[in-house]
Amino acid sequence: MPNVTFIYNGQTKVVQGKDGQTVLQIALDNGIPMEHACGGNGFCTTCMSRVTAGMTNLTPRNDREENMGITEEPYRLCCQAKISGDVTVEIPD
């Protein structure tokens, strides 16, 4: 199973996710605090994070991310990005 490394609040935590899960779902399943005001529907940007490694192991940026103005690397909406391999994600303070 892919490793997902989260960097947040000055700490680093490595957890495992399953192919096809969103980064948000993996964070929440592992008790990692990731904001998700719209419930993971791609309408708020509170889950926006920096992908510092493994961008190619995420599904491509989708229309919801584009519509919310998340168009530049390394930023992604974690509720829209699904994993297919190891990734490292830095959650903004």
Binding site for ligand FES (CB under 6 A): 36-38, 40, 42-47, 77, 79
Which amino acid makes up residue 67? N
CB of 88 vs ligand FES, minimal distance in Å: 18
Residue 5 or 46 having the CB closest to ligand FES:
46
Question: HSE (CB half, 13 Å, CA atoms) of 82?
Answer: 6
- State the Cα–Cα distance between residues 27 and 60, nearest whole angstrom: 19
Q: How far is the CB of 68 from ligand FES (least distance, A)?
A: 7
Distance in Å, CB of 83 to ligand FES, minimum: 15
Distance CA 47, CA 23 (A): 9
